[in-house]
Structure 1
Amino acid sequence: MGSSAEEFALLRSELAGTLDLVGIDLPGFGRSPASGGTTVEEMAVLVERAIGASGATEWAIVGHSMGGKVATVVADRTVSGANGLFGLRAVVLLAASPLAPEPMDEGRRASMLAWAADGPIEPHHAAEFVDANTAGVLPPDRHEQAVQDVQRADPRAWRDWLLRGSREDWSTTADPNPVPTLVLAGAEDGDLAADAQRRLTMPHWPAAELHEVADAAHLLPWERPQEVAALVRDFWTRRIAHGPVVPADQARVIASPRVSARTRGVLAVRALSDDPDATPDALTWQQLDVLRAVARIVVPQPGEGEVDVALRVDRQLAAGQGDGWRPDGMPTDVDAYRGALDVLGAVSADDLAAALEDVAAGRYRSDGPLDAEQLRVWFEDASVDLVKQWLAHPATMSEIDYDGFANGGDGVRKQGFQLLGAGQREAWEPEGAGR
């Protein structure tokens, strides 16, 4: 509220080479007219249209304060497939307004409403707003730009946020969002400091991490652009950049009307990068490390970006998402995995491939909880699980030139496929890997 895309100018410079920052003025602020709509949903739609118009197929969304609530709604609608976008890889929330009503002192709300009651905000009130939301006095050039942004805010948009948008409650219908998320809070922020973010924002983001920015209050992009950029760069490099990227032409097909919202949402979640430091849910750390070693043999992934298929199988086991049956005499899936991985944990890395050959042939002997035949059956099922998790990733689908998911969207008429012969390709189909 009271800011514009200009507040990201310093961050844009700092993050050059890591992310290409594109600022979006929300309705009533900066150069965007309030006629675009000032409810949270109307602002979200404006942002979604801007993302779609950009043609970006690999993107993150950064939201500051009021924009944090809008960014969260956009991200939620992206992972559900509802808004027709694809390619979201990360979310960054700076002193974000939560999905629930924003905590705000009512006396301060009344004062800010009074500033815009009879027309544009006066310069001294704009300066008061900026100074109240910073830990120290901004450098003159930044202070001047921040004050000018407040002054040019549309009074209607200013009042609408204070009276309605900040009070909108989206938390009651929002499911937890699995997108990797960085939440930053100023140490001296009055209403939206780390404690408030921990209580109101973090529960919505199971894959989030929270950092407190010292010597900063609410206007983080103006106050600490270098520190914020360093945290964003580290987060992107450590959590996001290592994962496989869905090629642009495949991403555009997934975002097209040929793909249903439900399918698009499923693929959006599958495309998210795996956290290399994530705690396993069903296995121990040692068992997960062994499964990762097994996965490198069963599903070698040359080139840049790997799907952590072992971690995804761990999540599958924890959720009980097996195939619904098991051979007579075998323990439950999770117990079979634990027992087999404990046995293989005693094998050196150099000998693991040969040991798996013996396991597959039913001749591996051990003193563990599974006999040779049980180990053979487990390895057969584990190989299927690992390959399935690899094939399910939309980047892999592109690699193997598969686009069968694009057989019709949510419209009344399903487009389907017209060209079914070998080597034939529809005009809309991506070229794929050609192998």
Structure 2
Amino acid sequence: MIDQPVLFCLHYLGGSARTWRPLAERLGPHARCVGIDLPGFGDEAHKPGGDVAAMADHVAARITAEAPPGPWLIAGNSMGAKVALVLARRHEDGDPALAGLAGLVLLAGSPPAPEPMAEERRQAMIAWIDADPETRQREAEGFVSGNVGAPLDPEDHACAVEDVLRANPDAWKAWLAGGANEDWRERIGVLSIPALVVSGAEDGDLGPESQAALTLPHLARQRHEVAPGAGHLLPLERPEMLAALILAMLTAPPRAAQAPTLPPAFAALMSSDRVNTRLRSTLRERMREPDGPFCLGTDERATLAACLDRVLPQTGPGRIDLARRIDARLAGGTGDGWRFVALPPDPKAYARALRSLDGAAREAHGRPFTALGGAEQDALLDRATSGDLPEVAGGLDPDLMTCWFEELRGEAVRTFLAHPAGLAAIGFTGIGAGGDEADALPGYRLTYLNEREAWEAPVLEAAGDAR
């Protein structure tokens, strides 16, 4: 457990350092909250604001000045979460000023991708910040009330409205017209730092579905929680819940996805003298997770993973990361020597096909493929099979999507069965058909229907005899 860490807290658009007071009170002695006013807001309202990188510079300087004695975390709400993600990337790239960063808390976070906000609403928010005092007061009241699932405590509401009114209009507009639209997906990549992600069930733009689609793919070690009945201003709406989740994270940080393990019976067979040494070495090598290079973007990999979850569902812990393995195969230029001649080379075919799938999801449902339910995803994949997905700019033609999806299904099965855990799942005992002694191959002796050799019975019983 991290002992009494410092939690640097970055507020939402129009908020301030005092946004975090309710959370600080509930964390008490377990963690020290240090609220930081971003440029143009709170006590920094005399500054005109800036892009996301400039805000990250500002926060890094404050952290350096604070000089926390031990590990520390960054919490970011909405706008502040995007800045937190940029700082986490700098930390993982070796910035010595951020060496102590031990975790992220992302609340209704603005994702690395441009925010999914309707342009009409964006322009309306830009317009009223420069209006007359009466209009600004009315709009500020509406902004706070419209971003919560239920009315705030009157004191918290008044404080939030006051923060919006004292924001620097230039900083307000800089975020809406610039920072919120910045695309950091490729630069952020996938972070390994532990992250707690919390979304409000009633948050319109950046709720659970948006977080799952736009933020979680960038986090290798994350826990995602949904706050029922809450909106966008989570530090003010759910301080008790957040305090409990943060304390739990300090005790047990989220782990990376569990790698698949072999059932004891299959592991014993693989280690036995019935398995050829070269084959055993190959199988063990196949259990290693590929560490690159890769060629798909983060969003493309997430779409591929969601698609593979429908094509070849895996249950329980320790699933084989099929998307990662296929991505590494694409980057390495290897394959089985087969593809439809009408398709472009595999890396381009996959990138364009995944773009088509995601574009079709947005056209049909207004959400990315990764944010859809299983039935909605299946319906789109059925359309890919029949060749009637809509054409998407930069994607594959509908008839080529049919070819690609046929190839994907075959590749999913090949990749699954190339892993020893996949062989164990179907009860494959063929690896034990011959050891190193060429003159005494153990082989199979019982070849009648439904007969089992004594040595293969434990493997078949563990898998439910899939033959």
TM-score range, shorter chain: 0.5 to 0.7
Call closer, same or farther: CA 1:278–1:206 in 2, change over 3 Å. Answer: closer
Paired residue for 1:203? Answer: 217
User: What is the CA–CA distance in structure 1 between the aligned matches of 2:251 and 2:184, rounded to whole Å?
Assistant: 31
Paired residue for 2:83? Answer: 70
Q: 2:16 aligns with which of 4, 17, 37?
A: 4
Paired residue for 1:165? Answer: 179
Q: 1:59 aligns with which of 72, 79, 98?
A: 72
Note if contact 2:114-2:180 (Cα within 8 Å) is conserved in structure 1: yes
Paired residue for 1:156? Answer: 170
Note if contact 2:220-2:257 (Cα within 8 Å) is conserved in structure 1: no
Which runs of 5 or more structure 1 residues have no equivalent in the other structure?
Answer: 241-274, 291-312, 322-337, 339-368, 372-435
Call closer, same or farther: CA 1:60–1:314 in 2, change over 3 Å. Answer: farther
Q: Does the residue aligned with 2:188 lie in a helix, a strand or coil?
A: coil
Paired residue for 1:230? Answer: 244
Call closer, same or farther: CA 1:320–1:31 in 2, change over 3 Å. Answer: closer
Q: Does the residue aligned with 2:241 lie in a helix, a strand or coil?
A: helix
1:318 deviates by 2.9
- What amino acid is aligned across from residue 201 of structure 2 in structure 1? A
Call closer, same or farther: CA 1:320–1:196 in 2, change over 3 Å. Answer: closer
1:320 deviates by 7.5
Q: TM-score, normalised by structure 2?
A: 0.53
Paired residue for 1:42? Answer: 54
- The answer to whether structure 1 residue 279 and structure 2 residue 258 are counterparts is yes
- What amino acid is aligned across from residue 186 of structure 2 in structure 1? T
Deviations for 1:313-366, whole angstroms, at most 9, x for unmatched residues? 999943479xxxxxxxxxxxxxxxx9xxxxxxxxxxxxxxxxxxxxxxxxxxxx
Note if contact 1:184-1:210 (Cα within 8 Å) is conserved in structure 2: yes
Q: Point out the structure with the larger helix share.
A: 2
Note if contact 1:280-1:314 (Cα within 8 Å) is conserved in structure 2: no
- What amino acid is aligned across from residue 51 of structure 2 in structure 1? T
Q: Does the residue aligned with 1:137 lie in a helix, a strand or coil?
A: coil
- The answer to whether structure 1 residue 140 and structure 2 residue 154 are counterparts is yes
User: What is the CA–CA distance in structure 1 between the aligned matches of 2:165 and 2:215, rounded to whole Å?
Assistant: 29
Call closer, same or farther: CA 1:94–1:141 in 2, change over 3 Å. Answer: same
Note if contact 2:49-2:174 (Cα within 8 Å) is conserved in structure 1: no
Note if contact 1:62-1:68 (Cα within 8 Å) is conserved in structure 2: yes
User: What is the CA–CA distance in structure 1 between the aligned matches of 2:247 and 2:263, rounded to whole Å?
Assistant: 27
Paired residue for 1:31? Answer: 43
User: What is the CA–CA distance in structure 2 between the aligned matches of 1:226 and 1:30, rounded to whole Å?
Assistant: 24
Paired residue for 1:183? Answer: 197
Q: TM-score, normalised by structure 1?
A: 0.57
Paired residue for 2:289? Answer: 318
Which is bigger in relative contact order (C-alpha 8 A, separation at least 6)? 1
Paired residue for 1:221? Answer: 235
Q: 2:188 aligns with which of 174, 177, 196?
A: 174
- The answer to whether structure 1 residue 87 and structure 2 residue 66 are counterparts is no
Deviations for 1:121-173, whole angstroms, at most 9, x for unmatched residues? 72211110000101111111111111111111110000111100100111123
1:34 deviates by 5.1
1:177 deviates by 0.3
Note if contact 1:62-1:71 (Cα within 8 Å) is conserved in structure 2: yes
Deviations for 1:78-112, whole angstroms, at most 9, x for unmatched residues? 11113632111110000000011011112211211
- Provide the aligned length of Structure 1 versus Structure 2: 269
User: What is the CA–CA distance in structure 2 between the aligned matches of 1:128 and 1:114, rounded to whole Å?
Assistant: 14
1:64 deviates by 0.5
Paired residue for 1:13? Answer: 25
Q: Does the residue aligned with 2:33 lie in a helix, a strand or coil?
A: coil
Which runs of 5 or more structure 2 residues have no equivalent in the other structure?
Answer: 1-12, 269-283, 293-419, 421-434, 438-467
Paired residue for 1:97? Answer: 110
Identity rate, percent: 40
Q: Does the residue aligned with 2:157 lie in a helix, a strand or coil?
A: helix
Note if contact 2:200-2:208 (Cα within 8 Å) is conserved in structure 1: yes
